[in-house]
Structure 1
Amino acid sequence: MPLNISRRDFLSATLTTAAAAASGAFVPSQIRAGEFTGKIRKAVKYHMIQAPELSVREKFQMLKDLGYDGVEIRTVDKANENRDEVLAARDEVGLPIHGVVNSSNPDIRTAVDLSKQYGGTSVLVVAGRVNKGRQYDENYREWFARLKEAAPYAEDQGIRLLVENVWNGFLLSPMEMATFIDEIDSPAVGVYFDCGNVVRFGWPEHWIRILGSRIVKLDIKEYSRDLQKNAGLWKGFDVEIGDGDVDYPAVREALKEIGFSGWATAEVKGGGRERLEEIARRMDEALSL
């Protein structure tokens, strides 16, 4: 993305960046000129780094060199077996671990502890699964109770429990998801909104406006209705960020309307340096970073 800024604007941006750094505020890893620069922080999931020849520190350094502002790690990732190495990589490189992904693991407290240890701010939660053998209302009651019970502990630790909209047959509309979050009635519980997951049956910008400030973090990927129709349901995800049916200009407008700022994490097919560089470029374009 070209940087068409004047010398005065550049000096102003430089002074602002220096002041922010001195105050400990977030500073983008690169000087950019997008609408959401400094408002949205760009990350990837740790397991997307497919470079087995690199150490944990080298992986963190590569992400920082490519312009990522942070990383998110799953509770099941093997890297957690040596947390000291992960923490050292974080500190030496200066790349934050903004949260952990716990999916539908019912052990939420352990995930909260891990996120806290890594300096994260959230645990991504998948609220169960509804299928032929699993009643909808049963799943609702169980995960409502589970999140309600874990919320005070998470709040005490400064960690948000963020429910993601996924293909689990549950919380199938933004209004229901909003009600579910509101009825738990805890400042620790919010939404981890996935832009690509709703395209199969809806429009991300509609969900964003309805969920509003409940949205704390974003997952970024794509979905193609054409591939869904002609190649199969799950094939709809086989499209690059910006090339599918997520209307990212409309998404940006909705995010602007709700005043969103925070982490946006790619959740797509990973790879080595070249692949991660491409993902970073596509995120910059889609989110105007």
Structure 2
Amino acid sequence: MLKGINQWGFPEGTSMEDIFHHAEVAGYDAVELNLNPAGGIGLTMESTTREAQAILALASRHGIKLRSLSTSLLWRTPLSSADPDVRALGAAVVTKQIELASLLGMDTILVVPGAVNADNSYDECYTRSQEEIKKLLPLAQQHGVYIGIENVWNKFLLSPLEMNRYIDEMDSKMAGVYFDVGNILLYGFPEQWIRILGSRIRKIHVKDFNTQVGNGAGFVPLLSGNVNWVQVHQALQEIGYTDTLTAELSPYAANPFQMVYDTSHQLDIIIGRSSISAN
């Protein structure tokens, strides 16, 4: 498996040069970039082909692979919105993700399909988001880019069986799962989800979580929470997953870049590269 880290793991405002430099020195194989709002560092909705290619060239100079593209923009323009204009904005975000991923040689984009709330019921979220994603699958097929649906705290797709159904109903090999190990601990066991989702999993996010805290403050450095990493690693081996484990954590408050280096060592243990084995 490959070691990756998300762009959000670096202090806000960190240049692409510094991101790839620190990733290289820390021993990562890949960096996951984000599609950011206008004016953000790296890829945005306004990024041109030339700008994207320059980022790819910079990553290549540092020996860093670009395997996937995430975004936070869909929280503002959910594909499950009752407003068709908002859904159209969300579809534009996913379209840009697909196009940029294709340019950069990435094979997967991360998509949060929507959120259940007082104004958007569970069944409406299911139907609307699925319909919007189905419209985007031909473009994904054309570009050879998987749409990876992530499990997040959106009160939606709360069972691996339902996640399987949601994906399978789209009837496209380009629809898959971007599975987040840490997010699932609030209501499930990651090793069970991995085995049930199986080959639908296209990419993996890793973070750890302290269930005794039970809220956003419960996310902790890898190996220090309640994830059973031995079981997670075993489950990934059982389903034949050999792609990227991408750490999605926040920088430390003090010496923020240190998180990048510490997490690299922790991933070595999880993957089994370190002499201090998780097995």
Give a deviation string over 1:66-105, Cα, whole Å, max 9, x none. 1100111111142125435423312322312112113524
Please report the TM-score for the alignment, with normalisation by the length of structure 1. 0.80
Q: Which residue of 1 aligns with 2:78?
A: none
Give a deviation string over 1:24-51, Cα, whole Å, max 9, x none. xxxxxxxxxxxxxxxx111111132228
Q: Quick check: which has more Rg, 1 or 2? A: 1
Q: C-alpha separation between the residues in 1 aligned to 2:9 and 2:224?
A: 20
Q: Map 1:41-56 to 2 at 5 A.
A: 41-50=2-11, 52=13, 55-56=15-16
1:106 aligns to 2:91 (yes or no): yes
1:174 aligns to 2:160 (yes or no): yes
Q: Which residue of 2 aligns with 1:234?
A: 216
1:126 aligns to 2:112 (yes or no): yes
What is the identity, as a one-letter code, of the residue corresponding to 1:286? Answer: I
Question: Residue 160 of structure 1: CA displacement?
Answer: 0.6
Identify which range, 155-164 or 60-69, moves more after superposition.
Answer: 60-69
Give a deviation string over 1:225-270, Cα, whole Å, max 9, x none. 1222xxxx22221x21111111010111111111111011101112
Q: Which residue of 2 aligns with 1:14?
A: none
SS of equivalent residue, structure 2 residue 186: coil
Stretches of structure 1 lacking an aligned partner (at least 5 in a row): 1-39
Q: C-alpha separation between the residues in 1 aligned to 2:261 and 2:218?
A: 23
Are the counterparts in 2 of residues 43 and 71 from structure 1 also a CA contact under 8 Å?
Answer: yes
Stretches of structure 2 lacking an aligned partner (at least 5 in a row): 75-89, 274-279
Q: Which residue of 1 aligns with 2:22?
A: 62
Q: Which residue of 1 aligns with 2:135?
A: 149
Match of 2:172 among 182, 186, 202: 186
Q: Map 1:243-254 to 2 at 5 A.
A: 243-254=224-235
Question: Residue 215 of structure 1: CA displacement?
Answer: 0.7
Q: Alignment length, in residue pairs?
A: 244
Q: CA separation of 1:278/1:183 partners in 2, compared to 1, >3 Å: closer, same or farther?
A: same
1:78 aligns to 2:62 (yes or no): no
Q: Which residue of 2 aligns with 1:196?
A: 182
Question: Residue 55 of structure 1: CA displacement?
Answer: 4.3
What is the identity, as a one-letter code, of the residue corresponding to 2:21? Answer: Q
Q: State the superposition RMSD in angstroms.
A: 1.7
Are the counterparts in 2 of residues 44 and 71 from structure 1 also a CA contact under 8 Å?
Answer: yes
Q: Which residue of 2 aligns with 1:20?
A: none
SS of equivalent residue, structure 1 residue 127: coil
The share of aligned pairs that are identical, in percent, is: 33
Q: C-alpha separation between the residues in 2 aligned to 1:55 and 1:132?
A: 39
Q: Which residue of 2 aligns with 1:212?
A: 198
SS of equivalent residue, structure 1 residue 109: helix
Question: Residue 222 of structure 1: CA displacement?
Answer: 0.8
Question: Residue 274 of structure 1: CA displacement?
Answer: 2.4
Q: Which residue of 2 aligns with 1:93?
A: 62
Identify which range, 270-279 or 215-224, moves more after superposition.
Answer: 270-279
Match of 1:279 among 263, 275, 278: 263
Q: CA separation of 1:51/1:153 partners in 2, compared to 1, >3 Å: closer, same or farther?
A: closer
Q: Which residue of 1 aligns with 2:207?
A: 221
SS of equivalent residue, structure 2 residue 64: coil
Q: C-alpha separation between the residues in 1 aligned to 2:147 and 2:111?
A: 7
Identify which range, 244-253 or 268-277, moves more after superposition.
Answer: 268-277
SS of equivalent residue, structure 1 residue 226: coil
Are the counterparts in 2 of residues 125 and 164 from structure 1 also a CA contact under 8 Å?
Answer: yes
